[in-house]
Structure 1
């Protein structure tokens, strides 16, 4: 128990030192030459106009977050494909014993691994198949939720107006009867 506390204390000291030491070095090394131009607010090469307290459109962040989430989740398909492909190859009963040993070593990541039996590989392949179905269905449910919420619509106001216009019953505009023509009075009388 004492060694765990000692390790935790040492880890905490290293973590705090790893945060504080670069800040202190930067404070000592960097030049201190403040000028009015350096202290002015600068954004994207343009001088600021108006207040910075404006309502910013969050759709850019939503699109970026959705991309990152789905991109990271799709990256999990690659290790699965490696395991599933190797397991389906090992499930072939016609595979020779030396080939089975090489594939088993690839699948297990161990150079001293023994050959995996075809039945075990078939069971692993089916388990992997159902695992990816669950994973992919969770992705699809998340995608459907985001789509239903309207987060994929670039301009929500335009999309909402289109929905409201489609929901309204289409009735032709009322036809007005023409006004009865009145006789004209002669000009200059």
Structure 2
């Protein structure tokens, strides 16, 4: 029966490569940031110290109201993008022999759920851009 110390040494030998690569990666990032800090010119001006956002000079407080409708449109896009991800494999399975009626019913159930969701969003006025 082999000794437990020998087994442990063999087990951890595989992790030394991972640890060594992690240390090298951290050192590489530290050296890059240090070199950038040493080599860059430091000339602070009032214009450089201003907050920059999309080319617009900051006016007023830093707190701004964000419209929720942008997120709702993004969410609806994601829902229908996922829908298309499910439709393409379904089309290939539907073409295979023996899966016609079952996959057709399953897809109509899936599209029905999506239609109900879209109808709900339309009835709630989410799709109206005001």
TM-score range, shorter chain: 0.5 to 0.7
> Closer, same or farther in 2 for the Cα pair 1:41/1:26, shift >3 Å?
farther
**TM-score in terms of structure 1 length:** 0.46
Q: Which runs of 5+ in 2 are unaligned?
A: 1-10
Answer yes or no: is 1:35 the counterpart of 2:10. no
* One of 67, 70, 91 as aligned partner of 2:77: 67
Higher relative contact order (CA 8 A, sep 6+): 1
**TM-score in terms of structure 2 length:** 0.64
> CA–CA distance in 1 between the matches of 2:66 and 2:123?
23
> CA–CA distance in 2 between the matches of 1:143 and 1:23?
47
Answer yes or no: is 1:48 the counterpart of 2:58. yes
**Bigger Rg, which one:** 1
Answer yes or no: is 1:79 the counterpart of 2:89. yes
* Aligned residue number for residue 132 of structure 1: 107
Q: What is the total number of aligned residue pairs between the two structures?
A: 106
Q: Which runs of 4+ in 1 moved over 6 A?
A: none
> CA–CA distance in 2 between the matches of 1:72 and 1:23?
37
